[in-house]
Amino acid sequence: MPRSRKRHAMLALVAVPAVLSAGLAVGLAIGASAGALGGEPITGEPLRDPPVLRSRDGRLAVTFTAKGATTRIGGRRVVTWAYNGLAPGPTLEVRPGDRLQITNRNGLPGQPTNLHVHGMHVSPRGHGDNVFVNTPSGATFVNRYDIPDDHIPGEYWYHPHRHMYVDQQVSAGMAGTIIVRGGWEDQPALSSLRTRQMVLQQFQVTPDGQVVRGTMTSDAPTYTYVNGQLKPVVDIRPGELQRWRLSNLQGDSFVRIRVPDGMRAWLIATDGNPLARPQRVYEMLIPPAGRRTILVRAGAPGESVMRNEPWGTGFQAIPEQDLLTVRTAGPRRAGQELPARIGDMPNLRRAQVARRRTVQFSMGAPGPNGMPVFLINGRRYEQWGRRNLASMRLGTVEEWTLTNTTDEYHPFHIHLQPFQVMSVNGQPVRGVMYRDTVPIPPMVNGVPGTVVIRQRYTDFTGRFVIHCHILFHEDNGMMAPVQVVR
């Protein structure tokens, strides 16, 4: 069990037994009305994409009801917290210039919530991507996102962001993807390909069909599911080129994905941001919240497996697991060529830097309850109050050196817009690589891990946050407010 899970288990048992009991009672009531729950998961089903809700005439208006629900995970009936009874939630498909409206109804027992559109470049104010909103149990809040005409097409996602409750709600399954169409996404060389959405979520399901929320206190096995399915099957023809969208929507765990034997793969986008050209890949380490869009070409007929390879040490170690089976069969497909170019992102290497900052991720002494404390620049989130870690000027470029003095990786995420990764542990990053979530390596032999990023602040002013996207760390202090001002 990863250390974050152990710590969260302790937190749940010490701090929130009433909330967990209320959730369990609701779950049992739903389960009783829905018939038998639990049992062994079903494997080998054909991969099913999540349902898609598309904008029309420049608008998409949806209602999410967050509550305990009976749904299917691994082919059997389970009870969890979900949006509209789906885990993962529906995929939202929009275009630059659209208005996206999400009515967020909180039916969770005894917990507040809110909503964040991760990676999207929209206003953080008011009813926009405002993570300071508090929506109590039983209340409703309407988020309205005006998507800029020049928004970067690609893959993003949504999830709750109410501090201290994020890990429980996301680990229950409250998350889904957002696809911004247009531009490089819709070029003929890509839009003609079969596209598969692959949402990775980690669930632990008890024998009686209850999904364990963030605590992992049960002895039941923990699996990473793809679109809520365990080890599904993806069909492809020999020689066929497909586009796969891989989204790690797990609350705390990395995935290390190895390309199936007999197949070739090319990375074309990271966190929704396009690369200039397809880049051959053999395996990918995707942090929590990370997304990778790849092109895959099948080889000879047969079956192969895409695995979550072992990775990490100590408390962050992840075991090997088969994620899905690729079944290559049928007549050979010819004539599908790789695109020569994907997209262009601004290279900030020669940009004028208005300010340089150092942002340190660290751990403090355990609190009075014995739980760990996670810090940014020496403070827990609650200690910032109305102060901000940084105030950045609209229209300027800043360079941040992210440092890590702990023995764990910390996936750094900043809201509002992506950043260019310049170097990792002093090694320059080749090409132009943009992300919205990047792992900061741990300290080794007393030398902190470092990542250098650059970012230009455009379009929007307002207050938002940076944080570690291991959600247990975020809920326990590893978050800080920042703002963009004129």
**Residues 324 and 455 occupy one common structural domain:** no
In this prediction, residue 22 carries a pLDDT of 31
In this prediction, residue 35 carries a pLDDT of 54
> Does 344 fall in a domain?
no
- Asked which of 11-20, 77-86, 121-130 is least confident by mean pLDDT, the reply is 11-20
Asked whether residue 10 carries a pLDDT value surpassing 60, the answer given is no
Share of the chain above pLDDT 90, in %: 87
In this prediction, residue 217 carries a pLDDT of 62
Return d(Cα 179, Cα 51) in angstroms, integer: 12
Asked whether residue 459 carries a pLDDT value surpassing 50, the answer given is yes
**Residues 174 and 192 occupy one common structural domain:** no
Structural domain count of the chain: 3
> Does 51 fall in a domain?
yes
Token output for 359: 């942002």
pLDDT band at 71, cuts 50/70/90? very high
**Residues 209 and 146 occupy one common structural domain:** no
* Rounded (10°) angle between helices 3-15 and 17-34: 100
> Does 72 fall in a domain?
yes
pLDDT digits (tens, 9 = 90+) for 140-192: 999 999 999 999 999 999 999 999 999 999 999 999 999 999 999 999 999 99
| Angle at alpha carbon of residue 416, lines to 412 and 422, rounded to 5° | 50
In this prediction, residue 220 carries a pLDDT of 82
Q: Domain boundary at 181, 211, 227, which?
A: 181
In this prediction, residue 366 carries a pLDDT of 84
In this prediction, residue 314 carries a pLDDT of 79
> Does 10 fall in a domain?
yes
In this prediction, residue 350 carries a pLDDT of 96
> Does 149 fall in a domain?
yes
pLDDT digits (tens, 9 = 90+) for 309-328: 999 987 788 999 999 999 99
In this prediction, residue 12 carries a pLDDT of 30
pLDDT digits (tens, 9 = 90+) for 413-450: 999 999 999 999 999 999 999 999 999 999 999 999 99
Q: Domain boundary at 162, 181, 200, which?
A: 181
What order do you get walking across the sheet with 390-393 strand by strand?
A: 390-393, 479-485, 462-468, 410-414, 437-440
pLDDT band at 214, cuts 50/70/90? confident
pLDDT band at 218, cuts 50/70/90? low
**Residues 91 and 151 occupy one common structural domain:** yes
Question: 211 is in which domain, residue-wise?
Answer: 188-328
The 3-state secondary structure of the chain, one letter per residue: CCHHHHHHHHHHHHHCHHHHHHHHHHHHHHHHHHCCCCCCCCECCECCCCCEEECECCEEEEEEEEEEEEEEECCEEEEEEEECCECCCCEEEECCCCEEEEEEEECCCCCCECCEEECCCCCCCCCCCCCCCCECCCCEEEEEEECCCCCCCEEEEEECCCCCCHHHHHHHCCCEEEEECCHHHHCHHHHCCEEEEEEEEEEEECCCCEECCCCCCCCCCEEEEECCEECCEEEECCCCEEEEEEEECCCCCCEEEECCCCCEEEEEEECCEEEEEEEEECEEEECCCCEEEEEEECCCCEEEEEEECCECCHHHCECCEEEEEEEECCCCCCCCCCCCCCCCCCCCCCCCEEEEEEEEEEEECCCCCCCCEEEECCECHHHHCCCCCEEEECCCEEEEEEEECCCCCEEEEECCCCEEEEEECCEECCCCCEECEEEECCCECCECEEEEEEEECCCCCEEEEEEECCHHHHHCCCEEEEEEEC
On whether the CB atoms of residues 13 and 52 are closer than 8 A, the answer is no
Cα dihedral 45/47/48/52 (nearest 10): 170
Q: Tell how strand 222-226 and strand 194-204 pair up.
A: antiparallel
pLDDT digits (tens, 9 = 90+) for 225-284: 999 999 999 999 999 999 999 999 999 999 999 999 999 999 999 999 999 999 999 999
In this prediction, residue 20 carries a pLDDT of 29
> Does 286 fall in a domain?
yes
What type of residue sits at position 266?
Answer: W
165-180: string of b/e by CB count within 10 Å (b at 16+)?
bbbbbbbbbbbbbbbb
CATH of the domain at 427: 2.60.40.420
pLDDT band at 5, cuts 50/70/90? very low
**Residues 292 and 357 occupy one common structural domain:** no
Mean pLDDT of 83-111: 98
**Residues 368 and 324 occupy one common structural domain:** no
Q: Is the peptide bond before 88 cis (omega within 30 degrees of 0)?
A: yes
**Residues 162 and 57 occupy one common structural domain:** yes
Residue 278, phi then psi, degrees to nearest 5: -60, 140
**Residues 241 and 282 occupy one common structural domain:** yes
pLDDT band at 53, cuts 50/70/90? very high
> Does 41 fall in a domain?
no
> Does 341 fall in a domain?
no
In this prediction, residue 150 carries a pLDDT of 97
Q: Domain boundary at 267, 294, 328, which?
A: 328
On whether the CB atoms of residues 143 and 99 are closer than 8 A, the answer is no
**Residues 240 and 293 occupy one common structural domain:** yes
**Residues 169 and 216 occupy one common structural domain:** no
In this prediction, residue 31 carries a pLDDT of 36
pLDDT band at 370, cuts 50/70/90? confident
**Residues 210 and 257 occupy one common structural domain:** yes
On whether the CB atoms of residues 341 and 275 are closer than 8 A, the answer is no
**Residues 144 and 194 occupy one common structural domain:** no
